[in-house]
Amino acid sequence: MKIGQSTDLTIPVPQTNTPNAQKAGEEAAATAKSTASSAGVSVSVSNLARSLEKPDVSAPGDVDTAKVDKIKAAIQDGTYVVNPEAIADKLLSNAQEMLNRTTR
C-alpha cells in the first residue's frame, strides 16, 4: 500500500429486502470488488511459506499409516473404544501445562 493512499471503501448497505435494495446491494458489491482488484497490490510468497503450505506427510516417522488404517477400520466397524478417562487426564494435563506457562 502506498503512503497517503485512501483505504476508505465505503459501500452503502441496503436496509430492506426490496428488489431495488437487493439490486443496489449487488451493484455495491460489484463496485467494491472492482475497486479492490484495481488497487494494484502485488503479493509474493517466500519459498519457506510455500513449503509450509502442504506438509510433507511422506516423511518417515511422521505418520504411522498402519496405525491410522487400523483405527479407521475400527471406527468403520464400530469396534473403536474411546477411553474417556484418558481423554480427561490429557485435557487436565494440557490445561495445567498452559497455566504454568502463563504464570512464569
pLDDT at 51 over 60: yes
pLDDT band at 53 (very low <50, low <70, confident <90, very high): confident
pLDDT in tens, 26-35: 676 666 665 5
Confidence of residue 48 (pLDDT cuts 50, 70, 90): confident
CA distance 77 to 59: 29
Specify the 3-state DSSP secondary structure of 88: helix
Is 16 a member of any domain? no
**73: which 3 cell numbers?**
477400520
The tens digit of pLDDT for each residue in 64-73 reads: 889 999 999 9
In a domain, 44, yes or no: no
Closest CA to 45 of 54, 36, 56, 34: 54
Whether 47 is covered by a domain: the verdict is no
Q: Is residue 38 part of a domain?
A: no
Q: How much is the pTM? A: 0.33
- Name residues whose C-beta falls within 8 Å of residue 1's C-beta, 6 or more positions apart in sequence: 7, 41
Q: Within a domain: residue 90?
A: yes
Q: Which domain holds residue 95?
A: 62-102
Q: Is 80 part of a structural domain of the chain? A: yes
What total of structural domains would you count in the chain? Answer: 1
Contacts of 54 (CB under 8 A, 6+ apart): none
- Whether 40 maps to a domain, the answer reads no
Q: Does residue 79 lie in a domain region?
A: yes
Describe the chain by its helix, strand, coil percentages, rounded to 5.
Answer: 55, 0, 45
